[in-house]
A and B are shown apart, each in its own frame.
Chain A
Amino acid sequence: MSRIFLRNARLLDPASGLDRKGSLLVADGKIAELDPPLGSSTAGAKEIECQGHCLAPGLVDMRVELREPGQEHVETLESGSAAAVAGGVTTMVALPNTEPAIDDIALVEFVARRSREIGRTHIRTYAAATRGLNGREITEIGLLQAAGAVGFTDAHAAIADAVVMRRALSYARTFDALLIQHPEEPALAAGGALTEGETATRLGLPGITPAAEVMMVERDLRLVEITGARLHFAHVSTAAAIEAIRRAKAQSLPVTCDTAPAYFALNETAVGEYRTFAKLSPPLRVEEDRRAVVEGLKDGTIDAIASDHSPHPADSKRLPFTSAEAGIIGLETLLPLTLELVHNRHLTLLQALKAVSQRPAEILRLPAGRLAEGQPADLVLFDLERPYKIAVDEFRSKSKNSPFDGRPVQGRVLKTMVEGRLVFGGEA
């Protein structure tokens, strides 16, 4: 069977704390052996000379929008997969806010089938928590989970009704299923375009108070206390929400959360003079909140970093700010932006990798995120130091809505391997 021998690598496995020079043998799609003795086991294997670069578990991106089915002109499972492997992402989980919404087992199976056909990154999907994301009737959580849905969420819509949320949590617990909430009190956020404060006031734009986030987090934490269900908060962005989650974790509530690179790499000033590429949901926050996100990552309150890949065509962004769509693409910038935290000495390399591989895999209970013998050979090889400028023109994603175009970063993906197959950086 196909064997690949990766030699002279810096082996990194956040789960075991492994960080040393070594080599690795891949056989039959799995990590067969670390530091195999040269000889019989490596004989005949295809060799890859890693030149001392970092070899780590492939990234597990727990929040992407892929627009298929329904908006294939914006992104497809295929173009999203190309972007993923270029970004070192070997597993990604799609939000169910497609057209139609993924609220039925046939659609979950569709994503699984397309993932196999495309054969690059593993594409998994969440299913809607409520039918058609309507916020009222819960979906067939048991059947959908059995069909392969890895969690349940209404994507960008918070489940606003406390009774519906309580029942969704309670019912999900029956199947030990995970709910993912967009933590934002919708009435307070309605019509808002950026975070409330000086920038919004100066630009004359309707603001969203940062309290909208912590209010929903605190409500849901009470519901988790009642139900005991597992809940994950997506893209937390404010100091207050992070502090609420920190306290809940101290009480051992079954809650986790992630953030996206924009919330530690940018603040509200990125909006400048109505730059719609800096319009996100939740909105970019003030500098104090940005620093709190970094602190949350440092102390582990924030478990994971997800790209929050949200493709939009140019014509939905070239609009007046309030009319423009919120969201930015992120699959191809997830790793370099996360590595900024390492270069800036906020996180160790293993901490950073844990947030983009091991932790999301654990939260979603996926067989990924480990570099150890017997694990799937989903790997990324990257040059930690190589400086370059982010260039959206080179992105594989069909949409180019990134505020990071031109940003100088360090850390470039060299090769990506999924189940032992080289799916990016294949030549040589």
Chain B
Amino acid sequence: MTGTLSSPAYPHRHILGIEGLSPDDITLLLDKAETYVEQNRQADKKRSLLRGRTIINLFFENSTRTRTSFEVAGKRLGGDVINMSVAGSSIKKGETLIDTAMTLNAMHPDVLVVRHSESGAVHLLAQKVNCAVINAGDGAHEHPTQALLDALTIRRRKERLQGLVVAICGDILHSRVARSNIHLLNTMGARVRVVAPRTLIPSAIDRMGVEVFHDMAAGLKGVDIVMMLRLQTERMHGSFVPSTREYFHFFGLDAKKLAVAKPDALIMHPGPMNRGVEIDSEVADDIDRSLIRQQVEMGVAVRMACLEALTREIPNELSL
């Protein structure tokens, strides 16, 4: 839109999901994020790129980590960040979604960062507002910034995504992290496996371009990356799996199961971890293998990149 910008512009109005993004879109965001990693390690972390811009974190579902990450990202770019936590039983589902969106829209925010427990809720909201929308997780659908930060973390260690074999293990059925990662990794030329008991694998997942395993020994064989997923407490005791003990025995990641992966295989987890359920502390805390803390660090950089990408096309006289 403005011809003065040197680097290519992100061509979409929102970031609602990884599905539909091109390899160039993803690379653009990752490259942008890369520039923020160093900045975030300096004493002076603040920039004025988003000065005068209003970012509203609208969280219909509780999340301290993701919300904080977006808040830090927005503030480091100089934006005004407002947190609206509307999670809780007083919210009548949906009806207030549009109402809340319209109310906030009238305050002229520049970016809405939205998390909601229902798949598709963020798409719906994005149709009703004038500003850019970032999906911070919708139901079991997508969590695009998580997949981007995972990709950035992998790329910094492995220097590529193309050709890597990645096993995503655990509750695929309910996981937006899994879906976004499947889209991203496939788009970037990695090979994706999913590993879980059959009750936690959604039907026709193979149609999303993954190989399905129900056995960790087979699923982890020769992989470069092991991504573990969190198993929610309410799904542990007899509904989807019989017990945490049995789950850990067959599907929890420990040093023994990890032994069949490549010798330099790396371990990831979107957090928060259930130690002793899906992952053993010994591997989670292995500083040579575990990328879990780096993921958190990359999260801020990726979210800064997303905020920049969505706002740079909006004329802002202050930053010129």
Contacts and interface: CB of A to CB of B under 8 A. Distances in A.
Interface string A261-275: 000000000000110
Interface stretch (A167-175, A194-202, A326-334): A194-202
Interface string A302-324: 00000000000001001111111
Nearest to B99: A315
Given A198-B207, A201-B208, A274 B120 contact: yes
Contacts of A202: 19, 179, 207-208
Contacts of A200: 202-203
A196 B119 contact: no
A319 B93 contact: yes
Given A203-B141, A315-B95, A322-B139, A197 B119 contact: no
Contacts of A315: 95
B123 interface: yes
A272 B60 CA distance: 24
A274 B207 contact: no
A319 B205 CA distance: 26
Contacts of A364: none
A197 B120 contact: no
Interface string B95-133: 101100000000000000000101111011000000000
Given A203-B141, A204-B142, A320 B203 contact: no
Nearest to A275: B120
A205 interface: yes
A320 B119 contact: yes
B140 interface: yes
A14 interface: no
B262 to A, nearest CB: 29
Contact of A318 (B98, B176, B179, B207): B98
A321 B120 contact: yes
B320 interface: no
B204 A274 contact: no
Given A197-B204, A198-B204, A200-B202, A205 B98 contact: no
Contacts of B23: none
Interface in A243-264: none
A204 B119 contact: yes
Contacts of B124: 274, 318-320
Interface in B174-192: 176, 179
Interface residues of B, number: 26
Interface residues of A, number: 21
A315 B102 CA distance: 14
Given A319-B94, A319-B97, A322-B139, A203 B120 contact: yes
A197 B176 CA distance: 17
Nearest to A202: B208
Contacts of B95: 315, 319
A207 interface: yes
B205 to A, nearest CB: 6
Given A319-B94, A320-B94, A322-B139, A201 B207 contact: yes
A91 to B, nearest CB: 37
B140 A205 contact: yes
B119 A274 contact: yes
Contacts of A204: 119-120, 138-142, 176, 179
Interface string A3-29: 000000000000000000000000000
Contacts of B123: 273-274
A318 B101 CA distance: 13
Nearest to B174: A204
A199 to B, nearest CB: 9
Contacts of A320: 93-94, 97, 116, 118-121, 124, 139
Contacts of B179: 202, 204
A321 B124 CA distance: 9
Interface in A83-108: none
A204 B137 CA distance: 11
Nearest to A324: B94
Interface string A181-212: 00000000000000011101111110101000
Interface string B70-99: 000000000000000000000001110110
Which of B116, B124, B141, B207 has its CB near the most chain A CB atoms (within 10 A)? B124
Which of A202, A273, A315 has its CB near the most chain B CB atoms (within 10 A)? A202
B118 A201 contact: no
A197 B203 CA distance: 5
Contacts of A205: 119-120, 139-141
A100 to B, nearest CB: 24
Interface string A354-398: 000000000000000000000000000000000000000000000
A202 B141 CA distance: 7
Nearest to B202: A201
A202 B95 CA distance: 25
A319 B119 CA distance: 11
B185 to A, nearest CB: 15
Contacts of B204: 196-198, 201
Which of B118, B121, B139 has its CB near the most chain A CB atoms (within 10 A)? B118
Nearest to B172: A201
Interface in B194-253: 202-205, 207-208
A196 B203 contact: yes
Which of A201, A207, A320 has its CB near the most chain B CB atoms (within 10 A)? A320
B18 to A, nearest CB: 12
A202 B206 CA distance: 11
Which of B93, B94, B98, B141 has its CB near the most chain A CB atoms (within 10 A)? B94
A202 B97 CA distance: 23
Contact of B120 (A196, A198, A201, A273): A273
Interface string A121-160: 0000000000000000000000000000000000000000
A323 B124 CA distance: 12
Contacts of A324: 94
Contact of A323 (B94, B141, B142, B205): B94
Contact of A322 (B19, B118, B142): B118
A352 to B, nearest CB: 34
A201 B205 contact: yes
Contacts of A274: 119-120, 123-124
Nearest to A209: B203
8 contacts: A201-B205, A318-B124, A319-B124, A320-B93, A320-B118, A322-B139, A323-B94, A323-B118
User: Which 3 A-B pairs rank lowest in CB-CB distance, beginning with the nearest?
Assistant: A204-B141, A274-B120, A204-B140
Given A201-B207, A205-B119, A205-B120, 18 more contacts: A196-B203, A201-B204, A201-B208, A202-B208, A203-B141, A204-B139, A204-B142, A204-B176, A204-B179, A205-B139, A205-B141, A207-B202, A273-B123, A319-B94, A320-B97, A321-B119, A322-B139, A324-B94
